Amino acid sequence: MQLKSMPRAASWLHVEVRVGFEVLFVDGHRLRGRTSAREGESTWYVGYEIDVDPDWRTRSVHAINSSASGDRELVLERSTDGWTVDGVARPDLDGCLDVDFESSAVTNTLPIHRLPFVVGEAYDVPAAFVQADDLSVIRLEQRYTLLSSDDRRHVFHYESATFDFACELTYDASGLVLDYPGIAVRDR
């Protein structure tokens, strides 16, 4: 599977589960984004900066969450010693190379850029999952299987054992989500 270079900016509309919008700015191996939404009675804003190494493994994350109850900041770092969350070691995240934001369609691109996907082959890619409402971090068990790939689109079967969820994710040629059923649709 070959990926083209990512655009410098992209955006998504949240659909079904929540009402909102996400924007992304790409600067080399730094992803900067903002997402805001209303989900049920909750409204929130999450801003993030994700630094990845040349092999698309997450190195560090800075995030801020704003809601009616105030603001919260989060710093995640991954080194050869493992993950820290706000400076506290998190051995439960060992083996995770990616961060995944509940509020974002963007973070599903990280394993797509890192792994040598072949049609029909599944990869287990656990991630440090950041929840939208309070920026708490849990381990997310997930699996990606490439179903089809051409020079315009890549379609994956996605499964999360953590949330008992599965769907087909459609990506563009650069590896950014076009359609995340029930979550987000790319509008630019």
Q: Could you report the per-residue pLDDT of 11-32, keeping only the tens digit for each?
A: 999 998 899 999 999 999 999 9
Measured distance between the N- and C-terminal CA atoms of the chain, rounded to whole angstroms:
23
Give mean pLDDT, residues 107-123.
96
Residue 117 confidence (pLDDT): 96
Average pLDDT for residues 157-161, to the nearest whole number?
97
pLDDT tens readout for residues 43-92: 999 999 999 999 999 999 999 999 888 999 999 999 999 999 999 999 99
Q: Are 188 and 10 in contact (CB under 8 A)?
A: yes
Q: What is the pTM of this model?
A: 0.94
Residue 167 to residue 60: CA distance in whole angstroms = 28
Domain boundaries, the chain: 9-186
Alpha carbon distances (Å) from 170 to 89, 103, 109, 152:
35, 18, 11, 10
Contact 141, 124 (CB under 8 A): yes
Cβ–Cβ under 8 Å, residues 46 and 38? no
